[in-house]
Amino acid sequence: MTTPIKSNINEINLPFNWPVVGTLLFLTGIPGIPAIFLLALVAMGPLAIDGVSSMISTLHFETPAAIFVHGGSGILFFLTMPFQFSPKLRARSLKLHKIAGRIALISGFTMAISAVWMHNVLSPDSQGTRYIVLILTSSAICLTFSIALWHIINGNVRAHQKWMIRAVAITLAAVTPLFVDIIIEIFFSHFNSIYTLLAQFQYDYGRMLGIAINLIIVEVILNKKLISSTRSSPRKNTPALT
C-alpha cells in the first residue's frame, strides 16, 4: 500500500512536461484564440463594432449555429487537451484529469464533425478535392480518438496514450499547413510556375500533407522513447542452460 508521504514524493519527482504542454498550447491556440474573438463578434452581431464586424463574412451571422459548435468545441479542445500531457497534473488530480479528458475527447469529436458542417455552410459550392480531404481528415480524427477511447475503457493505458497522441497529431493537421505555407512562400515565391503549383497542392491536399508530417514526427518520437526505455530497463536474468 502506498503511503501519503511516498505518493507526495512521487508527485514531486514527476515532470510537468512544459515543452509538450507549451507546444500544444501554442499550436491549438493558433485557431483557438481567434475563435474566441470570432464567436464574440458573431454573438454581438454584424453592427456591433464598426470596421471590425464588417471584416467577417455575412454568412457567419446568417447561419451562426455551425460557427458556434465548431468554434466552441475548438476552444474547449484548446483549454483542455494540452494539459492532458502533464504527468504532474495527472498524478495531482486523477479525477480532474479524467473529467478534462472527457471534455477534450467530446470536443475533438465535435470539432471534427462540425468542420464538415461549417464547410457546407460557408462554402456550399466547394465540393471538390479540398472537401473530400476534409471529410477524410475528420473521419481519421474520429477513428483515432475512438481507438484511444476503446483502449482506456479496456484498461490499456499505454495504448490509450499512444493513440491519443496520434489523434491530436491528426487534429493539428489543420494547423501544420500554415507552417508549410510559410516555407513555400520563403523558398518558392520568386518562381511563379512552381509557386502556383505548390500553392494549389497546398490548398487541395494541405491537410493530408499535415497528417503525414505530424504522424511521422509522432512515430519517430514514440520509437525513440520505446528504444530508450528498452535500453534503460534492467535485463532479466536468464536461467543457465543445463
162 and 86 co-located in one domain? no
Same domain, 204 and 92: no
Q: Are 84 and 142 part of one and the same domain?
A: no
Rg from Cα positions in the chain: 22
Task: Judge if 140 and 106 occupy the same domain.
Answer: no
Same domain, 144 and 97: no
In terms of domains, do 52 and 155 share one?
Answer: no
**Same-domain status, 177 and 218:** yes
For residue 237, is it within any domain?
A: no
Q: What is the per-residue pLDDT for 226?
A: 78
Whether residue 47 has pLDDT greater than 90: no
Per-residue pLDDT band at 51 (split at 50, 70, 90): low
- Is 20 among the domain residues? yes
Write the single-letter amino acid at 177. P
- Pick the residue with more confidence: 91 or 237? 91
Residue-level pLDDT at 236:
47
Last residue of a domain, one of 124, 158, 176: 124
User: For residues 111 and 75, what is the distance between their CA atoms, to the nearest angstrom?
Assistant: 10
In-domain check, residue 238? no
Same domain, 220 and 185: yes
Dist CA 108 CA 81 (whole Å): 9
Predicted local distance difference test score (pLDDT) of residue 57: 77
In a domain, 242, yes or no: no
Residue 160 and residue 117 in one domain:
no
For residues 78 and 13, membership in a common domain is answered with: yes
The secondary structure of the chain in percent helix, strand, coil, rounded to multiples of 5, reads: 80, 0, 20
Residue 54 confidence class, pLDDT cut points 50, 70, 90: low
Does any domain span residue 241?
A: no
- pLDDT at position 240 is 38
pLDDT at 46: 77
Give the chain's mean pLDDT: 88
Contact 56, 41 (CB under 8 A): yes
* Domain end marker among 89, 124, 159: 124
Residues 1 and 27 placed together within one structural domain of the fold: yes
Count the domains in the chain. Answer: 2
In angstroms, the CA 228 to CA 152 distance is 24
Asked if the structure places residue 181 within a domain, the reply is yes
The residue among 124, 149, 182 that closes a domain is 124
Residue 62 lies in a domain: yes
Residue 175 and residue 31 in contact, taking contact as beta carbons nearer than 8 Å = yes
Block residue for cell numbers 526505455: 229
Q: Return d(Cα 145, Cα 177) in angstroms, integer.
A: 22
| Measured distance CA(79)–CA(231) in Å, rounded | 36
Q: Please write the tens of the pLDDT for every residue from 190-236.
A: 999 999 999 999 999 999 999 999 999 999 999 988 787 777 655 54
Are residues 72 and 6 both part of a single domain?
yes
- Whether 156 is in a domain gets the answer yes
The residue segments making up the domain with residue 157 are 126-230
